[in-house]
Amino acid sequence: MWVTPKIDWKATDYFNIQDYNRIKNNLNHIRSMALALYPYFTYADMGTDKTYSDYFYADEINKFETNLEDINTHTFPRDIGESVTFYDNQPFIDYVELNRIEKGINTIYQGLYGHITGRRRLQFRLGRRRAV
């Protein structure tokens, strides 16, 4: 289910489980949209939603980066900035990168939504109708 991305991250904002789950689920949503229009492409599984007892790991954030890049590459590529790689025990994702990711997700969503809703459809059925 699509949830409007947060695209106004500030240095004073904190990243929490709702943010993680929103980004993960929005990526899954735009991938589903992409597969309705484009051929199958690989996609890293990001697991289930986080709860308050879970931690965030660098490899999970890297999957956001990889999946966003893969969706962008395999659909109609847009300028969504440069991906960043995160490492354990190093600085965590910051507001600049969160803005880039969520704006990229929103940009791809808007493009795919336009493609899906703008497809022309015939007002009639082609071929002969068979008698029963």
Q: What is the pLDDT of residue 13?
A: 96
Alpha carbon of 10 to those of 49, 94, 96, 122: distances in Å? 24, 9, 8, 47
- Name the pTM for this structure: 0.86
Instruction: Print pLDDT tens along the chain (132 aa).
Output: 899 999 999 999 999 999 999 999 999 999 999 999 899 999 999 999 999 999 999 999 999 999 999 999 999 899 999 999 999 999 999 999 999 999 999 999 999 999 888 877 777 777 777 666
**How would DSSP label each residue in 1-41?**
----------TT----HHHHHHHHHHHHHHHHHHHTTS---
Closest by Cα among 25, 86, 96 to 56: 86
CA–CA distance, 52 with 58 (Å, rounded to integer)? 17
